[in-house]
Amino acid sequence: MRRVRSVAGDSVNLLLYRELGRCDDPVEEALWQLNPALAEQGPVLPAGVWVVLPEIDSQPVVTTPVSAWD
């Protein structure tokens, strides 16, 4: 697992997108499980907070949309 430091003004989604190239729900859920105390920092992270990044596949899982007419 890789650790990175936040930059002033980072949100969790911005940090995930910058470091991993994606910020979908499964990746964000994995990040919260690895960093349970991160929520105490608030919605905008201060500079210098260490964050453990989850190990993920390079491509998100593609789901087929469900239609009411199927």
CA dist 67 and 33 (Å) reads 32
The token duo for 10 is 């980072």
Q: What is the pLDDT along the chain (70 residues), one digit of tens a residue?
A: 899 999 999 999 999 999 999 889 999 999 999 999 999 999 999 999 999 999 987 665 666 788 888 6
- Tell me the domain boundaries of the chain: 2-53
Question: How far, in Å, CA of 66 to CA of 40, rounded?
Answer: 37
Question: What pLDDT shows up at residue 66?
Answer: 83
- The pLDDT value recorded for residue 60 is 57
- In 10 A of CB 13, how many CB atoms? 15
pLDDT of residue 68: 86
Residue 62's pLDDT is 67
